Amino acid sequence: MAKADLMDFDKALELFEPVLGFEVHVELSTKTKMFSDAPNPANSENVTAGPNTQITPVDLGLPGSLPVVNRTAVEYSISLGLALGCSIAASSRFARKNYFYPDLAKDYQISQYDEPIAFEGSVEVELEDGTVFTVPIERAHMEEDAGKLTHVGGATGRIQGAEYSLVDYNRAGVPLVEIVTKPIFGAEHNAPAVGKAYVSTIRDIVRSLGISEARMERGNLRCDANVSLRPRARAGEPPAPLGTRTETKNVNSMRSVERAVRYEIQRQAAILAAGGSITQETRHWHEDTGTTSPGRPKSDADDYRYFPEPDLLPIEPDPKLIESLRAALPEAPAVRRRRLRESWGFTELEFQDVQNSGLLVEVEETVAAGAAPAQARKWWTGEIARLANAQNAEPAALITPLAVSEIVALVESGELTDRMARQVVEGVAAGRARPPRSSRRAASRSSRMTAR
């Protein structure tokens, strides 16, 4: 839909009530995969040697191979479930989701269906204006990732028109937790912001748990956004039934989540107001144009022929294990935010700035590495955010907190001027320089890095 054909956002909200739902896939950073002992590429310590090198017969689905559950992945999933306020199932089961696709080695995905490991929770998310909104969680379940297809030939890089496709099974079997919300009502004008804040909160939770590297640009965290609209009920009338939803797939930055939700509300409102109807389908998000386009039609009758995975036993975690994981949970994001704001001595506005840029963890880690809070904030929300914006990347993808803290130290010790430091940051971000090491830590002063 051309942008001009979209309905004005405020007008759309006047006529319709948006109902949201999110499916967030989190790649766990275990050493090995969900069902095999192949190195897990979602753990960046496992350096890949190229396509189809991080695989075993299990990941290729070779005849005769059998899955074995990764205990660490189960523990990570329980921790995540607990952090989402969920109940942990005394017994949960894997199931097979059957469909043919070349990136799916066995032509079925081992997932969880009617017996997920975690269910019924909620997450508090904080919007940019400080409003706290509660997102209800339906379930969190374990599953394996599929491989990756590269379509060669053809202009679009899509499967249509491609001459042939290459499959890389390195990602096949990467442990995933899929977090599914219940329908989210009442977000209203804040709907796009709720989407962004929700994904940001999930990212903060998994990073604080240390169970995922949570780099959206690498696909460690992937969001599918469900949006539907229903007409506003007139006073005294019961609410209208839920409208037909679309599922926008792989919205892979927090800003995009916000944009995609806003776009779908405006698009659907225009169609509905013109007397049209919404097709239930998956939609692709286009980062460059800020629009969505139809994917495949999706109906509730999609038949995956789920049945209990006979190669695996039910997961029945020891209650003592659950309690010890509960005791080891880091503080809840809201509590943590209050604590950090106080200990850093930021004004409300300064703190919001960090929070809204999704840089809380970066600043925290930079401070932990020795930098003054004000300096950490200055670099992350200033120069690094600017570079990231220019490159359309996440700030965390450009430079590590440790490197930032060392640059701060070099400035403080007078070894770098502010201008030189900015050049260093730019060099590191562009991959042209290695992160510096402060002379306070390095044995030799000659180890200074410069942008070349």
Cα 108 to the center of its chain, rounded Å: 24
169 token code pair? 């099974």
Under 8 Å between Cβ of 135 and 198: yes
Angle at 377 between CA 371 and CA 381, to 5 degrees: 140
Among residues 390, 328, 277, the alpha carbon closest in space to that of 83 is found at 328
Among 31, 71, 305, 434, binds another protein (CB under 8 A): 305
In the complex, what is the shortest distance from the CB of residue 300 to another protein, in angstroms, rounded to a whole number?
9
Q: How far apart are CA 134 and CA 154, in angstroms?
A: 45
289 token code pair? 């144009």
In the complex, what is the shortest distance from the CB of residue 67 to another protein, in angstroms, rounded to a whole number?
7
Among residues 419, 427, 374, 387, the alpha carbon closest in space to that of 403 is found at 427
Q: How far apart are CA 57 and CA 264, in angstroms?
A: 42
Q: What are phi and psi of 234, to 5 degrees?
A: -75, 160
Among 98, 250, 423, 439, binds another protein (CB under 8 A): 98
DSSP string over 223-272: EEEEEEEEEPPPTTSPPPPPPP-EEEEEE-SHHHHHHHHHHHHHHHHHHH
Per CB under 8 A, the segment of 21-29, 265-273, 302-310, 442-450 that binds another protein is 302-310
Among residues 198, 205, 199, the alpha carbon closest in space to that of 221 is found at 199
280 binds another protein (CB under 8 A): no
Per CB under 8 A, the segment of 54-62, 194-202, 340-348, 379-387 that binds another protein is 54-62
66 binds another protein (CB under 8 A): yes
Three-class secondary structure of residue 64 per DSSP: coil
Convert residues 11-50 into a mask of x (bound to another protein by CB under 8 A) and - (unbound). Answer: ----------------------------------------
Alpha-carbon torsion (318, 322, 323, 328), positive or negative: positive
* Residue 298: exposure state from Cβ atoms within 10 A (0-12, 13-18, ≥19): middle
64 binds another protein (CB under 8 A): yes
Q: How far apart are CA 229 and CA 268, in angstroms?
A: 7
Among residues 275, 330, 287, 283, the alpha carbon closest in space to that of 80 is found at 330
* Amino acid (one-letter) located at 269: A
102 binds another protein (CB under 8 A): yes
In the complex, what is the shortest distance from the CB of residue 200 to another protein, in angstroms, rounded to a whole number?
36
Cα 299 to the center of its chain, rounded Å: 25
In the complex, what is the shortest distance from the CB of residue 157 to another protein, in angstroms, rounded to a whole number?
16
Convert residues 106-135 into a mask of x (bound to another protein by CB under 8 A) and - (unbound). Answer: xxx---------------------------
In the complex, what is the shortest distance from the CB of residue 324 to another protein, in angstroms, rounded to a whole number?
23
Three-class secondary structure of residue 208 per DSSP: helix
Cβ-based nearer residue to another protein, 310 or 414: 310
Q: What are phi and psi of 331, to 5 degrees?
A: -65, 155
* Amino acid (one-letter) located at 277: S
152 binds another protein (CB under 8 A): no
Among 60, 89, 199, 408, binds another protein (CB under 8 A): 60
* Positions in 312-341 near another protein (CB under 8 A): 312-313
Among 15, 31, 49, 68, binds another protein (CB under 8 A): 68
Which helix (H) or strand (E) is 136 found in, with range? Answer: strand 132-144
In the complex, what is the shortest distance from the CB of residue 68 to another protein, in angstroms, rounded to a whole number?
5
Per CB under 8 A, the segment of 100-108, 176-184, 212-220, 316-324 that binds another protein is 100-108
Per CB under 8 A, the segment of 99-107, 228-236, 248-256, 317-325 that binds another protein is 99-107
In the complex, what is the shortest distance from the CB of residue 301 to another protein, in angstroms, rounded to a whole number?
7
* Positions in 203-262 near another protein (CB under 8 A): none
Per CB under 8 A, the segment of 252-260, 310-318, 411-419, 439-447 that binds another protein is 310-318
In the complex, what is the shortest distance from the CB of residue 145 to another protein, in angstroms, rounded to a whole number?
17
In the complex, what is the shortest distance from the CB of residue 244 to another protein, in angstroms, rounded to a whole number?
20
Among 303, 318, 348, 418, binds another protein (CB under 8 A): 303
62 binds another protein (CB under 8 A): yes
Among 241, 310, 414, 431, binds another protein (CB under 8 A): 310
Strand spans (E) along 253-411: 281-286, 291-297, 307-308
Cβ-based nearer residue to another protein, 14 or 101: 101
167 binds another protein (CB under 8 A): yes
Q: Which residues bind another protein (CB under 8 A)?
A: 57, 60-69, 96, 98, 100, 102, 105-108, 165, 167, 301, 303, 305-307, 310-313
